[in-house]
Structure 1
Amino acid sequence: MAREKFQTLTEQMFYILLCLQEECYGMDIMEKVRLMTKERVTVGPGTLYNLLESFQQAGMIRETKVEGRKRSYLITSTGLETLEREYQRLLTQIEDYTRWKGGH
């Protein structure tokens, strides 16, 4: 059975969507992810623009502004739902880990 696209998010996907709760340009997103994660997660331009295109096609983000080659994006309600679902999934994993690590 094929896995639904965006059923779970990679770290890069998660942080890109998190950044787009505020309108951002591509280069701003790369810098915000780097700062937000204390350089633990980086997003290169190829990965970023492929993900932005995929997110747009899925209705998770929308383009808000175009200034020459600079494009600005913002998360949609669909993207927010996806981000929240991933957050809840991660919390459940943490709860499972904590319960089982302590000898269940």
Structure 2
Amino acid sequence: MSYNGGPMTEAMYYVLLALMNPNHGYQLMNAITEVSNGRLNMGPGTLYGVLSRMQKDGLISLAEDDGRRKTYSITDDGERALRIEYSRLMALVQDGMILKEGYENE
């Protein structure tokens, strides 16, 4: 696995979230839009670039390839990386609470 465990791009994060249920390209684009509550619309070029890189990094694997479409799924390493990233993001939000508290004290 060549993924270094550093901060993930938004695209990587949402691809992994969407792949908690195995999916193929077109469905995956819709699933990403859904799990991001419409904030992220990923086109095929971006998606396939991210999928290719994440496959090389061992975060996802090809679950099925029937010639027409490829179905991807998250690997154990991918789920571990996703959970680490989720914890990192939660810590960022927690650290940012100072902003909310600051406004309340004005």
Q: What is the TM-score normalised by the length of structure 2?
A: 0.86
Answering whether residue 17 of structure 2 is matched by residue 18 of structure 1, we say yes
| Matched ranges for 1:1-104 at <5 A | 5=4, 7-103=6-102
- Asked if structure 2 preserves the Cα contact closer than 8 Å seen for 1:55 and 1:61, the reply is yes
- Asked if structure 2 preserves the Cα contact closer than 8 Å seen for 1:63 and 1:73, the reply is yes
- Asked if structure 2 preserves the Cα contact closer than 8 Å seen for 1:12 and 1:42, the reply is no
Q: What is the TM-score normalised by the length of structure 1?
A: 0.87
1:38 deviation in Å? Answer: 2.9
Gaps of 5+ in 1: none
1:9 deviation in Å? Answer: 1.2
Number of aligned residue pairs? 101
Structure 2 CA distance for aligned equivalents of residues 39 and 98 of structure 1: 25
Gaps of 5+ in 2: none
Structure 1 CA distance for aligned equivalents of residues 35 and 100 of structure 2: 28
Structure 1 CA distance for aligned equivalents of residues 21 and 47 of structure 2: 16
Identical columns (%): 34
- Give the alignment's Cα RMSD to 1 decimal: 1.8
Q: Can you list the C-alpha shifts for 1:11-65, whole angstroms capped at 9, x where unaligned?
A: 2211100111111001111001112223211111011111111111011111010
Larger of the two Rg values belongs to structure: 2
Q: Which structure 1 residue ranges, 4+ long, deviate > 3 Å from structure 2?
A: none
